[in-house]
Every structure is written in C-alpha cells, then in structure tokens.
C-alpha cells in the first residue's frame, strides 16, 4: 500500500485530508486527539466527483460499546453491533484510517465497503 497521506487541515468542524486518490472529510470532536480517533464519520470525495461515506470504528471501540450496551440493555444487552455504513479498523487515528481508505481504493474494494452518497 502506498503512503499517500498528507497532513490534513481543519475546515470548520471537518478535518480534511487530501491524497492523490481522494479527499476525506472527517468529523471528529473538536478537542479529540486526531491520532486517537476511534469512532468517526467520514465523507470521501473521489476524483470523479463521487461522494462516499462511512462511520469508522476501531475493534476496541466496538468492544467498548458492546460492553456498555450489555450493562444498559441496548442491542439485546450488547449481543450485537450494527451500523448501516460501518467500517471497522484495527488501529485508531486519522492517519491510520486514511491509509485504510487508500488501501481500499488500491485493492478495488472501496465502492463495496463505503456507501455512495446520491447528489
């Protein structure tokens, strides 16, 4: 997988990362450490103008949510996790997530994993 990520920049509530393959607009909390992000919405724009979205979680975040739900009774007592546009990654951080997105494009799985946004 190529190292195509470049440092990002804030644009209002969005943290934007531009690569040769795409532009990703992440929506982390304002005070969140960008390299500790473990649950974030992202919109990705490809060079052809198409827009794609996902809610990205780390494995650890999914486990934490399910444990919380086991106590609260949500999701059948934490027995399942579901998200319509969910993508689960192993490691936290915007730079890691950006590398995963680039890898999905490179291996041809991007359009199968993310949700296309209709204009």
Residue 82: left (phi > 0), alpha (psi -120 to 50), or beta?
beta
When mean pLDDT is compared across 6-20, 25-39, 71-85, the lowest value belongs to 6-20
**How would residue 118 be classed by pLDDT, with cut points 50, 70 and 90?**
confident
Instruction: Quote the pLDDT of residue 24.
Output: 98
Instruction: Quote the pLDDT of residue 119.
Output: 66
pTM exceeds 0.75, yes or no: yes
CB proximity list for 48: less than 8 A, separation 6 or greater: none
Per residue in 20-40, pLDDT (tens digit) is 999 999 999 989 999 999 999
Is residue 24 within 8 A of residue 44, CB to CB? The reply is yes
The ranges assigned to domains in the chain are 9-55+85-117
For the chain, what percent of residues have pLDDT higher than 90? Answer: 90
Helix (H) / strand (E) containing 106: helix 94-106
The mean pLDDT of 33-52, rounded to a whole number, is 97
């Amino acid at each position: 997988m190529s190292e195509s990520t470049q440092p990002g920049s804030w644009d209002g509530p969005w943290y934007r990362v531009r690569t040769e393959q795409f532009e990703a607009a992440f929506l982390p909390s304002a005070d969140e450490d960008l390299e500790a992000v473990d649950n974030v919405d992202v919109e990705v724009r490809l060079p052809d103008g198409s827009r794609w979205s996902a809610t990205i979680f780390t494995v650890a975040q999914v486990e934490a949510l399910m444990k919380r739900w086991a106590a609260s009774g949500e999701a059948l007592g934490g027995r399942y996790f579901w998200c319509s546009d969910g993508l689960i990654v192993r490691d936290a951080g915007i730079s890691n997530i950006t590398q995963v997105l680039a890898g999905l494009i490179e291996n041809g799985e991007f359009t199968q994993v993310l949700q296309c946004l209709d204009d």
